[in-house]
Every structure is written in C-alpha cells, then in structure tokens.
Structure 1
Amino acid sequence: MSEYYARTSDHGYETCVEHLAMAGTLAGAFANRFDKLEAGLVAGLLHDEGKYSDAFQKRIRDPEHTPKVDHSTAGAVRAWNSGHGIEALAIASHHSGLANLGVPGEKDESSWFSRLDRVKGNAEIFKIDQERMDGQFGESRLPESRQFPPTVYSRMMLTRMILSALVDADRLDAEYFTTGSASRRERAVLDSVKQSLGSEAMAKQKAPSMPKLIESAQSTSAGLFEANLAKISELVSRIEHHDQQFFDNPNKTPLDVARCDILRQCIEKGENPAFGRGIYTLTAPTGSGKTNASVTFALEHAKTNHLERVIYVIPYMSIIDQTAQSFGRIFDGDDVLPHYSEADYQIKDESNLTERDLKKRLAAENWNAPIVVTTAVQFFESLYSNKTSRIRKLHNMANSVIVFDEAQTLPVPFLLPCVQAIAELVEHYHCSAVLCTATQPALEDRFRTAFNDADLSIPEVANITPSQMELFKRTTIEFMGSLEIDALADELAQHDEVLCVVNTRKKAQQLYDLLIERTQDEDGVFCLTTLQCAADRTNTIDVIRRRLRDGEACRVVSTSLIEAGVDVDFPAAYREKSGLDSILQTAGRCNREGKRPLRQSIVKVFDNGERPMPLIAQNVETMESVRGRFKDVSSQNAIHEYFRMLFYLKGDDVLDSKNILPRSNRMGMPFADIARDFTVIDSPTTSVYIRMNEESEELCDRLLNGEYGKDLFRKLGRYSVNVWPQHLQAMLDAGMLDSIGDSSDGDAGYILRNAMDYSSKKGLAAEVDNQTSDFNRWNY
C-alpha cells in the first residue's frame, strides 16, 4: 500500500497521518491539563497504528466484503514494549473500555495479559507497515514517558485520565472529519490544529515532525486554557453584578445582613491568593443563600487560581433543575450545562433540538462547558468507570473547582472511595474541592488518610459567628414521643400549611388518605414519594410552591426525598424519628425565610411506637445519643459529634462496602471489576412505565412494538416508577403488567396495563411495600 487511510466519509478519505497527528495533538493538549502532554501525545499517535496494515486498508476500501480488523492491539503492544505502559492500556481500551490488567499467565480471559497471550499467534494483527509508519512519525522519536505516580490507585486513575484524553481526541477528530463539527464548541480549536499541522501535507501522507506535534499540542493547550480563563472572568463579572444587588439593597432585614456577610466572605476568600488550590468546607445554615454563595466562591477562586471550570455536584436529580435554573437566571444559558438523564436537551427528539439544545447535548459528552451541574452518581461513577462513554469527560474535571452540594449525602457504602477520589483530584489534577452543606460531616480524619497528611487542616470559607447562627436558627425542634398515625393525621389536619416527613412510602400514602378524609380538601393535600414518576413529582412540587406563595391550604406528606435542598417554606413541620441530619434537613423546609417567630415555627419529631427500619437503625441510635448530650441538637458541635459517632459505628467495612480501595491498590488493576461494583444506587428494583399522557402512551406503544434504544428509555424515565421485587411480584400476580425486554438481561421492564392502577397524586399502591423507604440507600 502506498496510501494509508484511517476513515472514510461522503467527501473522501482521511489519511492515517492526518488522524494520528490530529488525535495525538488533541490528546496531548487535553492531558497537559494535568501535566501529561507527552503521554497523551503518545497515546494519540499510536492508538490506530493497526490501520497501517493491508487487512485494515482492504476493510476501509471494501467494508461489505471484508471482516472487521483489530486495529488497537498493535499500537498498544508497541507502546507497552517501549515503556509506555499506561498509554498502552489506554490505546488497547479506546474502543472496548478498560479491562482488568491481570497478571501474566492468569486465567482471567478478559484481562489485558490474557488478550496479549491470545494475539501472540495472530500474525495478521502485527502485519503492520512499520517502516511506513516509522518513516512518517518515527518510533525512536516518541517522547519519553515521564515519571508516573508510585501508588497503584494513582496509576489506575491516571490510566482513566489518559484514556479520557485519547477518547475525546479520537471522537472529536472523527466527528470533525465526517460532519465538520459545526455545533461543537471545539470547532475553532479543531480548525486551528489542522491548520497548524499542515492540512495539505497531511492529506498527502506527509506527517508533521515530532517537535512540530509537541509544539502544536502545547499551543493548543495554551489556547484552550486562555479561552477558558477568559470565560471564567466573564462569569465572575456576571456574578459580581448579581451579588452587588444584594449588597445595595437599602431595606435589608437582619437575616439579609447576615447573608451578605457570608457572601462577602466568599468573595474575599475567593479573591485571596493565599486560598490556593486545595480542599475547603463551606458550612452555612439552610436559608443563608448557600447556593449563590458557593458558586460565587467557586468562580472567584477559579479566577484567582487560574482554574478552568466549575463543576457543581448535587446529590439528587430532584433538585438539579432547581439549581440549574437558579444559575441560568445569572449566567447565559449556554454557559450552564445540567448533565443528567432527564435534562430537556437529553429527552427531546433530534428533529426538535434547537441549536442550543444540540450544543448542550454535544457538550454533555465531554463536559466542555464553564459550569457543569451534575449528580453525585454521575460524577463518582464516571471516576471509577471503565466505559469510554463515561470516561470521556474525565480530563475536563482536571483544573476545576468542584463543589459538593449537601456534602453530608456522600454515599456511605462508597464514602472512603469517594473521599479518595476527591483527594486524588486535588493532589494530582490541580482541582479545588468545596464541601458545601448546613450539616458538615466529620470527614477530616478520612481526608488526612486519603492525602497521607496527618496534619491536614481543611479551611472553612464562611466563618459564621454565634450571633449570626442564632439569626439563622428559625425553628424550634421538639421531641414529642410516640404518636399513632390516626392521632398524627388529626394533628396535621389542624394546620392549613404543614409538612410531614415519614420513613416509608406506604406510611406516606396512608397518611395522605387520612388527611383527605379529615380535611375533605383533596386540592390542598399532597403526597410525595418515589412511587410517583418523576414527571408527577416535579409537577407536584411546582403546585406546592405556588400554593405556599399564594397562601392557600397546603398539607404535604413526603418521604425523605423532599429534604435534600428542595426549596419550600412551611410554617410548621413534623418528622418521623430518623438520623439527626434528616431531622435538620426537614427543619430546613420550615420557616426557611425567617418570616415567623422562632417559637412559633415548630418541628415536631415523633415515632409510631415501632422499631426503626434496619436501614436507619444506627442513624436513630446515634441521634438519640447526641440528643442526650447536647441541649441544642442543631449546633455545629452536635452535628460534628453525630457524624463522628456514626462513622465509628459503621466502620470502614461499611464505608467501603464493595472493597473498592483495597482492590484499587492491587497490581492486577481490576478496572472492569471495580467499575461493575462501584454502583452508587445499587438496588434490585425494576422499572414500571406508566401511561399517563399522550407522550407516555406513544413511548409505551413503541416499546411494546419492539423498539429499543437509549433515547427512548431516557424519555421514558420521566414516566417510570422503580419497584422492589416483592412489590413487582404482587403486581405480576395480579396481572397488572405487560412485560418488555428479556428478563434475563438488565434492560427488562414492564408497562402498567391499566392507567387506573396509578394515581398522579399518590403513585402506585404500596400494599406490599411496607419496609421500603425513600431514605436513599446511599444516604446517611
């Protein structure tokens, strides 16, 4: 062969030279964000070396009559043999995902070493025109591999990061060649790279020199860096203008004054170079303007320390829209990327996507946006994933400010791996992390271990005085003992506006029915549980907010899903006995704006004389212990002691329930095994899809007609309820469900036959669901 092509499209062929030079330059530029330009460049240059073969060239010229060709292994082997081990793993994985490394001679057929053993006898894979490749790029001129981290954990994370840079570079160039990438933020960068490398020469099989490739990667990295910093500066100007309106308000209440003081501290700390890249806490009471203050600090800190984006990590999908909309009122819509499965741009048909929608959908693939709002599940599962689609975004986490909103909800079964991942990003990837919450968990010792620094001290951004704490104390918590459900309904019915949070979905539905019976006001009583689909929960919360705003009757019974940041304000609240953090989160939904006297804003904690569910028994036990020792259970000292005791009681085996960290330090690097087991929400539930409107009817019909696909299931997510095995079996026995998919695979689900078996007000009946709580299985 005299001409070697990497891919084809309607307008011709892309040469191997062009693709490898583009991918190498981009991967090097992306990896330079964490000081590994050479590793990214090597991975990009060698990732498709297998395309320098007669077999692949026959395939690209006649795909209908030629079998697929392994074009990853040859480059991976060359990288491995030349001392570029991490790059080799990235190259081998850039299509299939990261397999376990394994050890030589082992029997794990999915491991990298087993793959090497299998291909040794396959001469076709190694029939590469290396003379041609070397004549163009030159093996002897590959950059030397820099020193890599000493710990296996760090090498595994670096492998994911290099793979991220490679996958993003590879996909961007492929899209650029085939479609022109008109809607990509990276379009101008891709144009610039191609021009700097010499597009005409590459089209004629003439490769840029290695010094030219390195120079291009460096200049591309510098260009991305400068553009991102300019955008951060623009966003800082916007947030400062927005914040100034609070400062200039002449009619501040004492609470407003305290809020402004917290905000001013966030600005001052963010502007202070002494507060360099690192880990911080931002501990501020509910109602103190924490969300605005935290993003203000994040942007000011990013500008001061030359960080390129803000990633805002939220525990639950139920409040991600609320936060994204809040940011959208301050910043341009293109600057805020909400990344979760039910974001508008994710569930629209492609034919209905606006240009802005399309840009966001593309940006979600690699998180190329100045402000990313995402879920804790998406964030942490991506860091421990082995799939290329999830890993692709990781390199854009580097050199960022990462805010963990409601930090007390870091998933308990994975708390230690999450802490280690945060420490890794701060220590090796130039990130700053902000643990933001009203109930700060006691994580100092865990971070000292993660950083291997016994003297580590985590600075606090907002130092709130005792007098300010008193201002923000808007409720009085009363422990009222046992209260039967009928008596509880009688008491709730005496309030026109009241919130009651209980521990099980069945109890929420029972109490809802009793309240309807007591008040004869179906319009003014609401139920919130995950037995309702997301569309109904969202609509219900909107109606609740409107009625509270307009002073209409509004009695709400909810499970714990309302606690984590849902912005509602009730004059009175009741909470079934649970962990201290849950009690305080419910209190945060009462007298939120401080419009009522403290003594008239009561949060009553009750029980039904029942033993706590096993899921929360330790939380209740710890809460009772703290309650007996502290007069004010809402004080920071009480909260700190609650978490300290809770972590001690649970022990490391519970805080790393899947043994992620020990396995992340094994020489066999079990990437695939860890990715399989790091599932934050790991519950044996099954989706039941609800026919509730014209759109859901049409989507369900498509499923029943055998249509499957990621986009279809994403849209259906708004109309699904996840049910537990006992509940599912009862519905199957009653003939309520139509089956879809193969029950032997992970995509099986069901469609509710009769829409009358679902209520938008209550959701699915929970007759057999009495031990199931919305108390999140990865919450405290």
Structure 2
Amino acid sequence: MGLEDALSSGIGSGSAVPHQAFYARTSEHGFETCVEHLCMTGCLSGGFAQQFGHGKDGLLAGLFHDIGKYSQAFQKRIRNPERYGKVDHSTAGALFLVQHGCSAASFAAIGHHTGLPDMGGLGELEGSTYSARMNRACSAGNKNPLVLADAWKSQLHVPASAFMENTEAGREIGRENKNRSFYSEMMLTRMLLSTLVDGDRLDAEFFTSNREDRAEHELLARLKERLGGERLAEEQAPSWNTLREAALSAADSFANESDARIAQLAGIVEAIARKYFDKPDKTPLDEKRCELLERCLDRGRDESCGPGLYTLTAPTGSGKTFSSIAFALEHARTHGLQRVIYVIPYTSIIDQTVGQFERIFGIDAVLPHYAEAPYQLKDESDMDENDLKRVLAAENWNAPIVVTTAVQFFESLYSNKTSRCRKLHNIANSVIVFDEAQTLPVPYLRPCVRVIAELVERYGATAVLCTATQPELKPLFDRAFDGAEARIPEISPFSDADRDTFRRVTVDCIGDIGLDALADRLGEHRQVLCVVNTRKKAQYLYGRLAGDDSAGDGEENSAEGVFCLTTLQCAADRRLLLEEIRVRLAADEPCRVVSTSLIEAGVDVDFPVAYREESGLDSIIQTAGRCNREGRRSAEESMVYVFSTEGGCAPFLKQNIEAFRRVSERCADADVMADTAIRGYFSEMLDMLGDASLDKRHILRLHENDANLPFERIAERFKLIDTPTVPVYIPLSGEGEALCDRLERNDIDRTLFRRLGKYAVNVWPKHLQQLLSAGSVEPVGRGASPEEDCFILRDMGLYSSRLGLSVDVAAADGIFI
C-alpha cells in the first residue's frame, strides 16, 4: 500500500464529520486544535534543530509527528476519554515522514512518547520495533485505527518541495551532511528526538498551564502571536514560508537570549579577574595562578581559537576551576556559543563546584542537575521560585551554566528515552568542560571519546579536557575523528618550572609493609591520611588505630580522633564524619583517617602527611592532593608515602599498579608527578588494556556495523555505573527511619528514592544473601522483578556510623578508574 493509501484509505463520504474540529489536547480552559499544536511544535523543534543545521528536519518532524490525531479513533478518545482507550497517534506521522525521505525525523516521531525503538526486521509485524509498527500500519487496511481524515491535508499547507533538499545559501533550514556513518545518523536521530520532545512538551505545557516561571514562556507567547492564535484556533496553518521564517526567528531568539546571558556572566568573570590581577603583595603562588587565569581569558577571547577540542592541564592548587569557567564563558561569548556545561565525575565534589559558581554568578545562573541537588529532594509544595525554575530547566538544560555528572551527561547521549534525550539539543553549541578528565570510565572510554568528537565535529561544541593529570587520549581522538589527526591544543601550557611552583608534596615509595606495622607507623602521626584499596583493609587499620592506647598523643580515648571512610557507610554518615574531620584538622586536634579511594574524589581536606597503597599514578596524585592542600608547609616536609601490603594487589588494580611501576622505574630520581610521567602512565595503561577493554559493551560496534539501528539495546548496555550491587537502606534515627517507614508503606513519590540515596549502602549479591539468610535485612516495596526489590536493614547492631555495615567484603571490593 502506498503512502497516500496508507494514510487515507477508507476515508470518504461518511468517514469524516463535515466541519468537524480536530483537537490535539484538552485542558480546563478548552481544546487545542491539531493545527495549533503541530505548528507550534514544528516551529519550536525547527528552531532548536537549526542550532545544529537541521532546522528543516526539526520543522517537518514537529509538523507531522501528531497527524495521527486526525483519526476518528483519537477524536473519539479526546472527547470521551472515559469511554475510549488510548490510541496510537505517533505511527501515522512516522510513516508519512519516512515515505517522504525524512528517516531521522520519522524515528523521532515514532519515539516521541515511548522512546526510540530498534529498527527491527524488514518483514516484521509483531512487537514494538520501528519496522513492525510501519508494517502493521501499511497492512491493516480500512480497519487500521491510524487511518486519517482528509482534513489534515487541507489544514497543513506543506508543498512537496519542502521535502527536497534545501540548497539556498545563508540561513536555510536544513543543512544535510553527506556520507554520515551509522553512528552519526543515530546521533542525529537522538538530537532530532530531543528537539521534537522539547517542542512538544513546551507547547503542551504552554497550552495547559501557561507557566510564567518557565524560561521559554515569553518566546512561546511571541511565537503564537507570530503564527496567529485566532487563525490556529480556526484550524488553518500559516504557509510553509511563514512557518519556516517563524522557526528561523525562534532560533535567532534562542541565540540572542543566550548571547545576552553569556555576555553578562563573562563580564562578572572579568571583574573578578581584575581584582585578582590588581591585588597587591601577591605571593609567587598567587602570581602563577594569575598567569593561568590570564592565559585562559586571552585564549577565550581569541577569535582564531574557534570551537573545537582543547586540554587544560593545570596542577592542583592552581585555581583550575575558576580559570576553566573563565575560558569557557569568554570562548562562548567570542564564538556565540549558548551555554557552559560542567561535567563532574563524582557526586561527592559536585556540591562544592555548584556552591562556588553560585557565589560567583548567582543562583539563577547555575543549574545543578544531579539526583541529590537540594531542589531535587523537595516536594513541589516546599519549593521556592528558584527551585521551581530549576526543576523546569533540568528538563531541557535551558540555563547558561549547567553542572552535572558524567553519568547523567554520557548516558543521556546514548539513551533512547524521551526524558533523558529531551535536553540533548541544548548540548549543541555549548562549551563542555570535563573536570577530572582522567576519570572517564575505561570500559566505556572509546564511546565517550567518540561522542565528544561527534559533538565537536557536527554540533558546534567546544570540549575542554580539564585535569591536573591529563590522560593520553589523542590516539583515541584520532580514530574518533574518522582517522583525521585530532588537533588538541593546550589552553595554558605549563613548563616544568611552572609546575614546581605548585608542587606541594614529596612522593616517597617505601615498598612493602605489613598492616600491623603500617598501623603502628600511622599512630606515630598526630594527623595523617591513609588510603587503601579495599574496604576490608580500611576497617582492619581503623580497628588497630582505634584500639591502640599507645597512639602517643595522650588522648584519654585514642579512638576519638580515628576515622574510617568507606562505602560501607551511608553517605549521610560519611558527610558528618568529613565535617568532624575538617573541624579537627583546622583545630590541630589528633586526626587519623583511613579511607578507601572515595576520599580522592576532590574531597576538600588538608593533611600534613599521607600514605597511599600502591595503585594507579592518577590515584596516587589524587591522594597527594589531600596533603598540604592549602600550601601552608613546604613540599619537602609534606610527605606522601606509597606502599604495598602483604597478600598481593587486588586483581582489579594489577594493570594500574604495573603501569605505575614501569613509569616510576623510568623516572628514577625524577618526579613521578611530572607531566611526562603522567602521560607515560596513561599510555602504558592504554597499551596494556587493549582496544577491546575500552568498549567492553560493544557500543560502537552496535552503532557502526549494525543497520538494525538498535537504539533500545544500546541504551540498555550503556550504563557507566554497571555493578550488580544492591542498595540496603539504613533506618538511621530521624530522617532515615522516617523515609524507610514510607518505603515500607509504599508511600512513594518522585523524591523518595533520591532522599533515601544518602541512607543506602550498596552490597554485593552474595553479601545480601548472607544478610537475608540471617534475617538481618528485609525486602520491602517489591518491584516487578526480584532485581527491583528494596531492602531495609533490620539488625542495626550490624551498622556503625563510625565503621559502616559489617559484612565480609574481601572478595568483592572494587574501585572505578
């Protein structure tokens, strides 16, 4: 059956009510016509897509995504929803678009409610794949509920020429990129889904609730006025040229608003920078920080440094965070980019970055988007104006500065879900700063590099790899840019002499040492940090220190100044312990901390001496960043001791340790924290891991060698935190107990699990079974499958705020690189 037949067969005399109005939705104040919804959505989607050169595709996707609402089945449903069930209104538009050569827009249309499906087989009829839905639509004949009334043809005025490639120069809608790979086609499809979902949701919200706290409210009002509200209500769409110009005007409005916001924030940065530069009596360290900041500002203003891929390799303590945001804002203003997205690997450090940005730029300029952001934990009734604005902005990242996690950022780009994909179009034309770039997850390293390259190459983004320990990623980027050599200039090159200015510690490799001897040595220090590779070792050392009355400082209770930090404690307790640790450090009170690598994740503490169990060089440098952090002591007296312990190294760290040993042997007496050593370490790591280890879930293979376009399969596989651990919730007195009680009663809302997150301890399946067998935990809130069950700790004797949950974890410890 052909296109017109598939969409119109069975529609003739008697099949459509004369002068019947066709509605897309209803609200308390009336009905929105299909014409109004399609035109508003189309112009919004087209305007969003114009930002990356595919405005025509976005406009067409929006204009036809809901033509399925012209079916009698849907019109009966909207007039009497209690009597008539749900109607598929997405497939008709998808069929129309694909048969007019708009394949990516067709996928977007079919997935604008349920998400992007896999392509499926050519002759497939069963299931929810794209092919199955298309085939069913074409073969159902007159019984097909998708058959449309002829009214849609007379109400939408889109000429056949609109579906042909637009070759006009200048501000044309639709810039086709020839010879795109499967990967690029799939990423374009996700981007078009983003524009369509955002346009669709914005128009729906505008019609039903007209929220004035929505940042796009004024733009929506102007767009409706331009298109003619009365005309749309009378079911007549403007001409194709009018729609096209309206979409272009919307794109210009987005850009102009962004330009104004970015210029304002860049002005704030410059004012602060002037104060730094004009400060009298600067120390040598202050001078070097100012040099870094000045170079970042200069490169940001340099018109020849266009959108692209950059590194910012700056030592710890150099003011890297402020300098990086300064470059990002100046660069965005110079090149007309629309926002800055700051991607942070760990939730443990995101609060302090958000706090710093809010103090500088104001709360209204910064969108923190992560599960435990304060506004995410509130019920709407408890939110103030800023909270409400942030909730709305988090849906589509319409904010000048977005601070988010690496998990949120990368998983969204590989997702097929509408809620996750909605914000993707606002990543285009942005400056993306990847803080602690060395933490990109090894099993997904090639897909992460590939999508960064795609954003730079096809979506006008600038990416900045920002870290003190720059990984050697150029070979991977060379491949990601289709074999073309990647150009990755350094924003602010540092000489060895420059780095010496920031050197605050001395690293000493002391070799093997027993745990008991190590505990004795730690007890000799009044204040000391020791980072080990497993939770079991941390707990053992804590026990030795806490029970050793010969600690040497005369405390009545030596355990008072001893702390253990592991993921066996819930986040709420770790936060309280860290506050206590900071107080003791500042007061020069005894403070001996044994921790797993979690303290390396940018936690702001300052010890006079540190010990680090042998690991990767990047981890050792991160531990060194917790020693003499404020530079109050000389580097020579601020020691970081690297050691190994009996029993061999953990299997998951063998390659990291081997790479570190090779580099340290080559360095001999040279500084293992020098830039050459760091790059050498990462090169060794990549060589030892091998190509297959950098894409363990075959994400790129599914993109590049599979015409099946498996959107759903890829989304299921791409999980940066993909461990089999299960959360056990700890009913700590107060909020923890109250939240666990709500979970038991199935009193669940959108915030419950976010709030419960800080009371969770993630345990491995074998330990969960041990706890279940002993009756120590109880399953509650059962889900659709055992994997979705929730568990609450019943035997609180197994949990200590100082030590965590008592389980044998020797065989299941792990860290992330």
What is the match of residue 601 of structure 2?
Answer: 564
Alignment of 1:384-403 (within 5 A): 384-403=414-433
* C-alpha separation in 2, matches of 1:453 and 1:238: 40
For 1:522, the equivalent position in structure 2 comes to 559
1:198 counterpart residue number: 228
Partner of 2:770: 730
Of 659, 678, 692 in structure 2, the residue corresponding to residue 653 of structure 1 is: 692
**CA offset at residue 141 of structure 1?**
5.7
Does residue 140 of structure 1 match 2:151? no
1:125 matched to 2:164? The reply is no
Instruction: Determine if the alignment matches structure 1 residue 337 to structure 2 residue 378.
Output: no
Match of 1:750 among 785, 791, 798: 791
Aligned to 1:368: 398
Q: Report the Cα offset of residue 544 of structure 1.
A: 2.2
Deviations 1:579-638 (A, max 9, x none): 111111111111122221111111001111222111111111111111111132111111
Q: How many residues align?
A: 776
Evaluate the alpha carbon distance shift between residue 591 and residue 616 of structure 1 in structure 2; reply closer, same or farther with a 3 A threshold.
Answer: same
Cα distance in structure 2, aligned partners of 1:151 and 1:254: 51
Task: Tell me if 1:699 matches 2:748.
Answer: no
Query: Quick one: which amino acid aligns to residue 759 of structure 1?
Result: S
Match of 1:664 among 684, 703, 708: 703
1: CA distance, partners of 2:276 / 2:516: 46
2:61 maps to 1:43: yes
Do the aligned residues in 1 keep the contact of 2:70 with 2:151 (CA within 8 Å)?
A: no
Whole-angstrom distance in 1 between the partners of 2:650 and 2:136: 51
Q: What is the one-letter code of the residue matched to 2:708?
A: G
Residue from 340, 343, 351 that aligns with 1:313: 343
Match of 2:12 in 1: none
SS in 1 for 2:673: coil
Instruction: Select between 553-562 and 24-33 the one with higher mean Cα deviation.
Output: 553-562
708-717 or 433-442: bigger deviation:
708-717
Does residue 256 (structure 1) correspond to residue 286 (structure 2)? The answer is yes
Contact 2:48 2:425 in 1 (8 A): yes
Counterpart of 1:130, as a letter, is D
Q: 2:813: which partner in 1? A: 773
Alignment of 1:551-700 (within 5 A): 551-631=588-668, 632-665=671-704, 666-700=706-740
Specify which of 540, 553, 570 is matched with residue 577 of structure 2. 540
Contact residue 502 and residue 558 of structure 1 kept, 8 A: yes
Residue 25 in 1 paired to residue 43 in 2? Answer: yes
Alpha-carbon contact 2:100-2:163 (below 8 Å) kept: no
**Unaligned regions of 5+ residues in structure 2, if any?**
1-16, 166-173, 552-556
> Which residue of structure 2 aligns with residue 11 of structure 1?
29
Residue 715 of structure 1: CA displacement? 1.5
What corresponds to 1:347 in structure 2? 377
SS at match of 2:45: helix
Of 533-542 and 381-390, the range deviating more from structure 2: 533-542
Q: Deviations over 1:139-177 (max 9, x none)?
A: 536443553452110000000000000001101111111
- Shift of residue 131, structure 1, vs aligned partner: 4.1
Partner Cα distance (2:67, 2:484) in 1: 47
CA contact (8 A) 2:263 2:333 kept: yes
The equivalent residue for 1:437 is: 467
State whether residues 315 and 409 of structure 1, in contact with CA within 8 Å, keep that contact through their aligned partners in structure 2: yes
> Which residue in the other structure is 1:475 paired with?
505
Contact conserved, 1:406 with 1:564, CA < 8 A, in 2?
A: no
2:493 is the alignment partner of 1:493: no
**Residue 774 of structure 1: CA displacement?**
5.2
Q: Is the 8 A contact 2:259 2:336 kept in 1?
A: yes
Please state how far the C-alpha of 1:658 moved relative to its aligned partner: 0.6
Counterpart among 685, 692, 717 of residue 757 in structure 2: 717
Letter of the structure 1 residue corresponding to residue 310 of structure 2: Y
Runs of 4 or more, structure 1, over 4 Å off, are none
Mean CA deviation greater in 40-49 or 247-256: 247-256
CA contact (8 A) 1:686 1:722 kept: yes
Contact between 1:417 and 1:661, CA under 8 Å: does it hold in 2? yes
Residues 453 and 740 (structure 1), Cα distance of their counterparts in 2 relative to 1, 3 Å cut: same
Supply the distance in 2 between the matched residues of 1:178 and 1:455 (Cα, whole angstroms). Answer: 51
Q: Which amino acid aligns with 1:699?
A: L
State how far apart, in whole Å, the 2-side matches of 1:489 and 1:357 are: 47
What's the secondary structure of 2:593's corresponding residue?
Answer: strand
How much has 1:709 moved relative to structure 2? Answer: 4.1
TM-score (norm 1): 0.97
- Identity %, equivalent residues: 52
| Secondary structure class of the residue paired with 2:594 | strand
Match of 1:762 in 2: 803
Instruction: Trace 1:267-286 onto structure 2 (pairs within 5 A).
Output: 267-286=297-316
Structure 2 residue identity aligned to 1:655: L
Larger radius of gyration: 2
C-alpha distance in structure 2 between counterparts of 1:330 and 1:433, whole Å:
22
Is the 8 Å Cα contact of residues 29 and 40 (structure 1) preserved in structure 2? yes
Structure 1 residue 106 displacement after superposition: 5.2
2:28, 2:804 → 1: CA distance? Answer: 50
Aligned partners of 1:200 and 1:522: how far apart in 2?
Answer: 75
Structure 2: which amino acid aligns with 1:465?
S
* Residues 89 and 146 in structure 2, CA contact (< 8 A), matched pair in contact too: no
Task: Determine the C-alpha separation between the residues in 2 that align with 1:447 and 1:399.
Answer: 20
**Offset of residue 137 of structure 1:** 2.9
Q: Which amino acid aligns with 1:199?
A: G
Contact kept, 8 Å, 1:531 with 1:721, in 2: the verdict is: yes
Structure 2 letter corresponding to 1:416:
R
**Aligned ranges 1:126-205 → 2 under 5 Å:** 126-138=146-158, 140=160, 142-145=162-165, 146=174, 147-149=176-178, 150-205=180-235
Tell me, what secondary structure is at the counterpart of 1:775? Answer: coil
C-alpha separation between the residues in 1 aligned to 2:156 and 2:296? 53
AA partner of residue 756 (structure 2) = L
TM score, norm. by length of structure 2: 0.93
C-alpha spacing 1:204/1:134, structure 2 compared with 1 (3 Å): closer
8 A contact 1:141–1:210 mirrored in 2: no
Shift of residue 135, structure 1, vs aligned partner: 3.7
1:214-257 per-residue CA deviation (whole Å, 9 max, x = no partner) reads 11111111011011111001101111222222222213221111
| Preserved CA contact (<8 Å) 1:148 1:155 | no
| C-alpha RMSD of matched pairs (Å) | 1.5
Structure 1 unaligned runs (5+)? none
Residue correspondence of structure 1 range 241-252 to structure 2 within 5 A: 241-252=271-282
Name the SS of the counterpart of 1:126 in structure 2: coil
Aligned partner of residue 688 in structure 1, secondary structure: strand
Distance 1:134 1:395 in 2: 32
Amino acid at match of 2:799: Y
Asked whether the equivalents of residues 577 and 583 of structure 1 are also in contact (C-alpha less than 8 Å), the reply is: yes
CA contact (8 A) 1:529 1:774 kept: no
State the match for 1:502 in structure 2.
Answer: 532
Structure 2 residue 97 is the aligned partner of structure 1 residue 67 = no
- Matched AA of 1:528: L
Residue 259 of structure 2 aligns to a residue whose secondary structure is helix
Residue type of the alignment partner of 1:730: Q
Question: What letter corresponds to residue 635 of structure 1 in structure 2?
Answer: A
- Aligned-residue offset at 1:104: 0.9
Structure 2 residue aligned with 1:239: 269
Of 491-500 and 747-756, the range deviating more from structure 2: 747-756
Q: Is the 8 A contact 2:159 2:240 kept in 1?
A: no
2:696 is matched by which residue type in structure 1?
A: S
